[in-house]
């Protein structure tokens, strides 16, 4: 029982990331009908927003100490971040919590990137074949990835979680099981809660606001909504921006779990495409459900018991693809796919 | 063999053969006349031709073709290890294995079309990559990559080489052998490996030409232009697309086998999505659905990969050393991110520009330029006719050589 709970928890953080990215992908599929191969790059850019913001915050003033000497005999350099100089303890806390502050930094950045991408490039591809859309966003993904590589280098840049969230908690004891049976890193729980809030927010936004209602109507029948005199293009552009923000935030919060590197975007993108296909192209609920499902499945597949059962083959690397194959052979439209989405 | 072709195709075939065989001569002045690079031109040319049979004819965009390249590489290397150092069984075996692999993947992926197909092939390629990297380590040797070994059994020709690794050969002709011929102050390198690949390339080009002109090719084109209508006319198109998929998978396997024959080392990174993306880039860059385009694209991308990526900051500084310091520094700062290790940025940008403005690739570009030239000459003719009646137009017609003036005249 506790082993199962642990695997479910283990799957949640990856599943949350899959769900968030897949949600962003599906928002773009569903509204604009564009396959965005540059979506992984958005996830990566989100992660690098954290790096940038952290670097900005910890921009240090260097002074030479008059009394102390470094081991080399030169005067010791004292490095104090400017934020700490200006705000004292509050500044130190701010640096500690930079991941959360990065969210505020990332939202406008990602929104801007999303809107520029849609208006500047993808807008011109609505009437072109899907292959062209894939190809041009693929080219964009290469460019973005390589730009990040040339700016930040090829090595991963570790980002610490806030000190209060470092370490693990005993989830088992909290829910009345034996102590030390289910121990789980705190940040992963935070990530899951964050993902849940964002996903809930998006769904509420689409469900309960007029804007969301119009967008849903546009997803169902773009032409009719346009004929009713609503500028649906403008709203879809906003949705592209929103999708970029969701994906970027997924990246921002994921940095303490996985040190940002330039190819993380593509690594996740391939999996998230599979997630979207399994969930059903164009179905938001499907994308989220499949994201969590596949994340959890992946963590179960990495259990040693499973490996023993399969004569020593570890299938955690390929389980997602196998499931995708089975789903597509039995339910070609995915778990919750609707008829007629992206089938031409 | 050539009799069955149309005259224009026959001319194309002859021209292609001449150009391919003369590559060492043509590439030497461009600084690309060394065997390793020329082998890559030919091998990736084969890969791209095969990809084009699928994407160019049927319009199915596979994003996982590198998987077949990798499978071909591994199986060829196993043949070199187990059976014989001769490359013939290795190539044959790898073509068969990659064909079977393509049959399996194609059978599943072709159940969906459009984006789903691209995503499925991408997923399969990534799965193969992961498998090769971790689970199948006994077969693929994981991270290290598979290579020849002194303890290889090599049933057919296990003569002791005195503690030296054998190098792959074709009935005694070693792939690495190169004849260096001085010519006009350049060293022309005629390499056995390159000529083997070149002959295979020519053969494969001929095959693709025949496929393009056959009724089978016609059906594949029909799939591209309107599959639904084709199905309504009573055609079951899936066997045809599957055949195209398998053929192009076999081409990829052949290319993978040749890669291993030239340099007996196979690593999992050959199957990564970037490698699949590369062949897409080559085909698009040269011209999708054209015969010569993919080879052209493969050559250009491999050429620039080698030339651009070797340019480092000091070379760039050399270029601008004649300029005043301030200007030179600015230019170096602007140019250097796009060259050397960052040449992928320029590749991505060029690729995007091609997709946006020139979806038909370089072949379409060349076609447009040809059109422009014919229009230019026609415009000149009409202008000279007119100038007979109205001598005052003389200044205009003398400016005819610049394309801009013609365009304004036409509009």
Instruction: Answer whether B265 touches A (CB < 8 Å).
Output: no
The average pLDDT across A164-183 equals 72
> In terms of pLDDT, which residue wins out, A128 or B151?
A128
Give the position of tokens 């966003």. A137
pLDDT band for A123, please (50, 70, 90 cuts). Answer: confident
pLDDT in tens, A230-273: 888 888 888 899 999 999 999 998 888 888 888 888 888 888 88
Q: Give B-chain residues touching A323 at CB under 8 angstroms.
A: none
Q: Assess whether pLDDT exceeds 80 at residue B366.
A: yes
- Mean pLDDT calculated for residue range B328-347: 75
Nearest CA in chain A to B136: A313
- A79 pairs with which residues across the strands? A62
Does A257 reach chain B within 8 Å, measured CB to CB?
no
> Shortest CA distance to A230 belongs to which of A208, A241, A216, A214?
A214
Flag whether the ipTM exceeds 0.85. Answer: no
Cross-chain CB nearest to B348 (options A139, A325, A343) = A139
In this complex, the residue of A142, A270, A332 whose CB is nearest that of residue B123 is: A270
Percentage above 90 pLDDT, chain B = 16
Look at chain B and report how many structural domains it folds into: 2
Q: Identify which has the larger pLDDT, A245 or B337.
A: A245
- The residue from B309, B327, B352 where one domain ends is B309
**Residue A113's pLDDT is what?**
92
Which pLDDT score is estimated for B409? 38
Q: What residue in A sits closest to B106 (Cα-Cα)? A: A325
User: Is B318 found in the same domain as B231?
Assistant: no
Cβ neighbours of B131 in A, within 8 Å: 317-318
Question: Which residues of chain B are within 8 Å of residue A146 when distances are taken between CB atoms?
Answer: 342, 344-345, 348
C-alpha closest to that of A335 among A271, A300, A292? A292
The first and second tokens of residue B179, run together, are 């004849």
- A interface mutation test: which of B106, B301, B352, B358 has the most A CBs within 10 A? B352
**Pair (B347, B364) in one structural domain:** yes
Helix axes A2-32, A210-220, angle to 10 degrees: 80
pLDDT tens-place string over residues B77-106? 888 888 777 788 888 999 999 999 999 999
| Backbone dihedral angles phi then psi of residue B353, each to the nearest 5 degrees | -60, -40
Average pLDDT of span A145-153: 86
Query: B46 pLDDT band (50/70/90 cuts)?
Result: very high
Whether pLDDT at A309 is above 50 = yes
Q: Does B122 touch chain A (CB under 8 A)?
A: yes
pLDDT the model gives residue B52: 92
Mean pLDDT of chain A: 82
Is B250 in the same domain as B128? Answer: yes
* Burial (CB count within 10 angstroms: exposed 0-12, middle 13-18, buried 19+), residue B4: exposed
pLDDT of residue A334: 78
Q: Give yes or no: residues B276 and B358 share one domain.
A: no
Predicted confidence (pLDDT) at residue B289 exceeds the cutoff of 60: yes
B108–A328: do the CB atoms touch at under 8 Å? yes
pLDDT of residue B49: 92
* pLDDT score recorded for residue A81: 74
The answer to whether A130 contacts chain B (CB < 8 Å) is yes
Are residues B210 and B348 both part of a single domain?
no
Q: Kindly indicate the confidence band of residue B390, based on its pLDDT and cuts at 50, 70 and 90.
A: low
Comparing A111-125, A283-297, B140-154, which segment has the lowest mean pLDDT? B140-154
Contact list, B126 vs chain A (CB under 8 Å): 270, 321
User: What are the Cα distances from residue B229, in Å, to B65, B213, B225?
Assistant: 28, 21, 9
pLDDT for res B4: 65
Measuring CA to CA, which residue among B152, B126, B97 is closest to residue B264? Answer: B152
Of residues A89 and A153, more confidently modeled: A153
For residue B284, the SS3 value is helix
Q: What is the mean pLDDT of residues A117-127?
A: 86
Q: Are residues B79 and B218 in the same domain?
A: yes
Average pLDDT over residues B257-275: 84
CA distance B411 to B400: 15
Q: What is the mean pLDDT of residues A115-136?
A: 86
For A279, the token pair is 């969930």
Same domain, B355 and B305: no
* A312: number of Cβ within 10 Å: 8
Give φ, ψ of A80 to 5 degrees.
-120, 125
pLDDT at A44: 92
B120 touches A: beta carbon within 8 Å:
yes
Q: Do B300 and B331 share a domain, yes or no?
A: no
pLDDT at B189 over 50: yes
Q: Are residues B332 and B390 in the same domain?
A: yes
- B305 with B344, same domain? no
Please state the rounded mean pLDDT for residues A298-305: 80
Same domain for B135 and B88?
yes
- pLDDT category, A329, cuts 50, 70, 90? confident
Which of A106-115, B75-84, B130-139, B320-329 holds the top average pLDDT?
A: A106-115
Q: How big is the CA angle at B319 (ends B314 and B325), to the nearest 5 degrees?
A: 85
B277 vs A90, which has greater pLDDT? B277
Q: Which domain holds residue B46?
A: 2-309
Of A142, A277, A314, the CB nearest to B348: A142
Q: Which residue has the higher pLDDT, A152 or A164?
A: A152
């Amino acid at each position: 029982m506790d082993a199962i709970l642990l695997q479910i928890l283990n799957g949640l953080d990856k599943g949350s990331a899959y769900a968030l990215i897949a949600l962003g992908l599906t928002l773009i599929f569903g509204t604009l009908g564009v396959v965005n191969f540059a979506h992984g790059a958005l996830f990566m850019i989100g992660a690098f927003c954290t790096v940038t913001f952290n670097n900005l915050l910890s921009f240090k003033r260097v002074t030479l100490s008059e009394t102390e000497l470094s081991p080399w005999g030169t005067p010791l350099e004292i490095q104090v971040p400017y934020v700490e100089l200006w705000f004292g303890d509050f500044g130190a806390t701010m640096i500690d919590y930079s991941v959360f502050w990065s969210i505020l930094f990332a939202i406008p950045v990602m929104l801007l990137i999303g809107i520029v991408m849609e208006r500047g490039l993808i807008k011109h591809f609505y009437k072109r074949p899907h292959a062209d859309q894939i190809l041009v966003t693929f080219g964009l993904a290469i460019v973005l990835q390589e730009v990040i590589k040339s700016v930040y280098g090829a090595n991963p840049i570790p980002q610490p979680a806030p000190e209060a969230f470092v370490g693990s908690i005993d989830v088992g004891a909290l829910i009345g099981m034996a102590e030390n049976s289910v121990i789980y890193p705190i940040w992963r729980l935070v990530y899951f809660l964050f993902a849940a809030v964002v996903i809930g927010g998006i769904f509420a936004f689409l469900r309960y606001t007029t804007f969301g209602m119009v967008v849903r109507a546009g997803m169902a029948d773009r032409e009719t909504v346009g004929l009713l005199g609503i500028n649906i293009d403008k709203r879809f552009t906003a949705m592209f921006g929103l999708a970029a923000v969701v994906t970027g935030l997924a990246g921002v919060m994921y940095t303490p779990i996985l040190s940002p590197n330039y190819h993380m975007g593509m690594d996740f993108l391939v999996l998230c495409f599979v997630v979207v296909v399994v969930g059903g192209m164009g179905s938001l609920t499907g994308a989220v459900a499949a994201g969590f499902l596949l994340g959890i499945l992946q963590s179960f597949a990495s259990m040693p018991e499973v490996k023993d059962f399969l004569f020593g083959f570890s299938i955690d690397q390929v389980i997602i693809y196998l499931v995708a194959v089975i789903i597509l052979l039995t339910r070609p439209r995915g778990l919750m796919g609707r008829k007629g989405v992206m089938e031409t | 063999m050539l009799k069955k072709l149309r005259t224009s195709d026959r001319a194309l075939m002859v021209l292609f053969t001449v150009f391919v065989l003369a590559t060492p001569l043509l590439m030497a002045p461009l600084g690309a006349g060394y065997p390793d690079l020329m082998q890559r031109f030919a091998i990736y040319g084969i890969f791209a031709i095969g990809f084009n049979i699928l994407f160019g004819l049927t319009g199915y965009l596979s994003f996982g073709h590198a998987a077949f390249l990798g499978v071909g590489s591994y199986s060829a290397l196993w043949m070199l290890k187990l059976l014989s150092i001769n490359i013939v069984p290795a190539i044959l075996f790898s073509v068969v294995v990659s064909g079977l692999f393509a049959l399996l993947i194609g059978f599943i992926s072709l159940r969906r079309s459009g984006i789903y197909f691209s995503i499925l092939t991408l997923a399969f390629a990534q799965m193969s990559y992961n498998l090769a990297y971790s689970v199948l380590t006994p077969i693929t040797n994981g991270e290290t990559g598979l290579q020849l070994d002194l303890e290889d059994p090599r049933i057919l020709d296990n003569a002791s080489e005195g503690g030296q690794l054998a190098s792959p050969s074709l009935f005694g002709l070693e792939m690495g052998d190169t004849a260096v011929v001085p010519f006009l102050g350049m060293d022309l390198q005629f390499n056995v490996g390159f000529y083997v690949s070149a002959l295979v390339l020519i053969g494969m080009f001929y095959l693709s030409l025949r496929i393009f002109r056959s009724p089978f090719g016609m059906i594949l084109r029909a799939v591209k232009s309107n599959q639904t209508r084709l199905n309504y006319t009573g055609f079951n198109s899936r066997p045809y697309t599957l055949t195209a998929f398998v053929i192009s998978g076999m081409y990829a396997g052949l290319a993978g086998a040749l890669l291993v024959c030239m340099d007996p080392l196979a690593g999992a990174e050959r199957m990564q999505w970037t490698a699949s993306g590369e062949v897409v880039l080559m085909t698009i860059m040269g011209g999708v659905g054209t015969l010569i385009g993919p080879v052209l694209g493969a050559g250009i991308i491999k050429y620039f990969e080698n030339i651009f990526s070797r340019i480092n900051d000091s070379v760039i500084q050399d270029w601008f050393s004649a300029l005043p310091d301030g200007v030179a520094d600015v230019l170096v700062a602007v140019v250097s991110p796009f060259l050397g290790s960052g040449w992928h940025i320029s590749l991505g940008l060029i690729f995007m520009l091609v997709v946006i403005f020139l979806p038909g690739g370089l072949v379409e570009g060349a076609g447009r330029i040809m059109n422009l030239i014919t229009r230019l000459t026609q415009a000149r003719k009409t202008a000279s006719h007119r100038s007979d009646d109205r001598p005052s137009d003389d200044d205009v017609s003398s400016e005819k050589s610049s394309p801009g003036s013609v365009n304004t005249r036409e509009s």
